[in-house]
Amino acid sequence: MNVLFVCTGNTCRSPMAEALLKKKAPHIQVQSAGVFAHPQDSANKNAVQALAERDLHLVHSAQPVTKKLLKWADLVITMTKAHKQLLLDQFPKYEDKYYTLIAFALGEEDDQNGDITDPFGGDLSMYKQTLAELEKYIDAFIHKLDT
């Protein structure tokens, strides 16, 4: 199984989700990208620190969403409804692969349960809160894949 996590700049949420899933489900191939990513941007220092405090080490370079990545992925998991909508607008061919993390994890057809909090610009505690939120839904995501 190939999973692509998508957020805005590919420096905070999607790399943290990628690191969590790689650690918790090493049999799954994982990458991350951003709808507005600047290639080669590094991960946010607070994202790296929040992960390091959980013994997860992140070495990351941002990459934009591409057709090649979307073709590679079996599932494309977005952090927000807006990210999903941008993908639908720009790459409608891959529509059947797109889910928000919360909707997929909860097994819901719609995206009414909100978005993963964006910690960008926040302090380390905000990144830790987003990491905890991601972990909750990544655990549910793995459970759903295993059932």
Annotation marks residue 12 as catalytic: no
Q: Which of 12, 13, 111, 115 is catalytic?
A: 13
Cα–Cα distance measured from residue 112 to residue 142, given in angstroms and rounded to the nearest whole number: 21
Outline where the chain has alpha helix (H): 13-24, 45-52, 67-72, 81-90, 101-106, 124-146
Contact present, 97 and 72 (Cβ < 8 Å): no
Q: Which of 54, 74, 111, 118 is catalytic?
A: 118
Annotation marks residue 13 as catalytic: yes
Annotation marks residue 139 as catalytic: no
Contact present, 62 and 9 (Cβ < 8 Å): yes
Q: Which of 7, 12, 111, 115 is catalytic?
A: 7
Burial (0-12, 13-18, 19+ Cβ within 10 Å), 5: buried
User: Active-site residue numbers?
Assistant: 7, 13, 118
